[in-house]
A and B are shown apart, each in its own frame.
Chain A
Amino acid sequence: MADKKQADDARDRKGRDQPSAEEAALSARLRDLGKRLGRHHSDGPSDSEPGQRPTTDASAMARGFRLSTELVAGVLVGAGIGWLIDRWAGTTPLGMIVFLLLGFAAGVLNVMRTAGVVPTNTLDPPDKRQ
């Protein structure tokens, strides 16, 4: 966000080497308009909070394709880990049961993230985010 803005500003400055009052007013209005547009199209490039809704610009179809496998993947990974633990530790039904359930939870979490119901985890604390 900041990078792009700076680049734009730099370009603006270069363009206004000999600024007249009229041009300055025009570019101020342009910037104002850009700011207001940016507020409306918050899903536009780099204006969005990438951590929070990364899927807003994915086409609906792409999202549909994603939804279909996210749940399955979570369950599969849970079952796989449970199976491995059972094999190593010899706790035959237990590991599978626990990890299958956890995997199911992870799958549901995946689906909800894909659908945009739950925000993605970010490395920044929430108060630092916009």
Chain B
Amino acid sequence: MDPIHQFQIQNLLTFGHIGGQEIAFTNSALFMLIAIAVIAALTIGATSSRALVPGRMQSVAEMSYEFVADTLRSSAGSEGMKFFPLVFSLFMFIVTVNVIGIIPYTFTVTSHIIITVSLALVVFLTVVVYGLYKHGLHFFKLFVPSGIPIYILPLVTFIEVLSFLSRPVSHSVRLFANMLAGHITLKVFGGFVVMLGGLGFLGSLGAILPLGMTVALTALELLVAFLQAYVFAILTCIYINDAIHPGH
């Protein structure tokens, strides 16, 4: 009945200890592997037939490619397409992990902030490193808006830097918080059903309400699972756009 219990990390296989820290294969790692297997099956397996008229699974694979490619091209231009592998991997990983998490008795990998922070930092560092590589120190002009009076410029620059630093925070917290909150809510309403169901006939009658709520929430969670992956991907595209900046 504990709504937090579903997020517990369990060691499935302990490899050893490094610096007093246990190195183990956990349920989180297991579900990451499952997600990667699903993605591989979808992208490699379903497209292996290379049918001109795609079958069902091939359609799904092609649609996900088109979707991410369109998102990237529309926000970062065709120059951004060199980052397609990154964005596609992120999107597919997050959406698969999120959708697998909705299935009962599974573990939601993205409900742990360490995972989402790692993903967000990959994006953040990619942007910073590529921006510095492409533009050199000129990249820092991103923080200095033009057309600002000189006496207010330091303040504005500082706010811009803070705004830039807050990107990985909002990027990671959004995904983590949505998945965590959604799954807790689902569990709480599920718990209501069981509790009311144990109260005899009237209780069972009353349990219909939270049951309906659970069904509706599951649908909502499915939407959120996809939407959060989409938001993560589109923000990645926008940040990448900052790093490359096609000469407009």
Q: What is A's interface to B at a CB cutoff of 8 Å?
A: 1, 3-4, 43-46, 48-51, 54-55, 57-59, 61-62, 65-66, 68-70, 72-74, 76-78, 81, 99, 102-103, 105-107, 109-110, 113, 120-126, 128-130
Size of interface on B: residues with Cβ below 8 Å to A: 46
- B146 shortest CB reach to chain A, Å: 6
Interface residue? B177 (CB, 8 A)? yes
Binding-face segment, B84-92, B100-108, B137-145, B195-203 = B137-145
Does residue B43 face the partner (Cβ distance < 8 Å to A)?
A: no
Whether A110 contacts B163 in the complex (CB less than 8 A), given A51-B245, A72-B173, A123-B135, comes out as: yes
Closest to B168 in A: A73
Could you pull out 30 A-B pairs where Cβ atoms are within 8 angstroms? A1-B78, A3-B77, A3-B79, A43-B74, A50-B75, A50-B76, A50-B77, A50-B246, A50-B248, A54-B237, A57-B71, A57-B74, A58-B234, A59-B227, A59-B230, A66-B170, A66-B174, A66-B235, A78-B162, A81-B162, A81-B165, A109-B160, A110-B170, A120-B242, A121-B160, A122-B142, A123-B138, A124-B245, A124-B248, A126-B147
Q: Report chain A residues within 8 Å CB of B241.
A: 50-51, 54
User: A15 CB to closest chain B CB, in angstroms?
Assistant: 21
Q: Which residues of A contact B166 (CB under 8 A)?
A: 70, 73-74, 76-77, 103, 106-107, 110
Task: Specify the chain A residue showing the minimal Cβ separation from B143.
Answer: A121
Cα(A106)–Cα(B74), bound, Å: 26
Whether B228 sits at the interface, judged by CB under 8 Å, is yes
Interface of B is mostly: helix
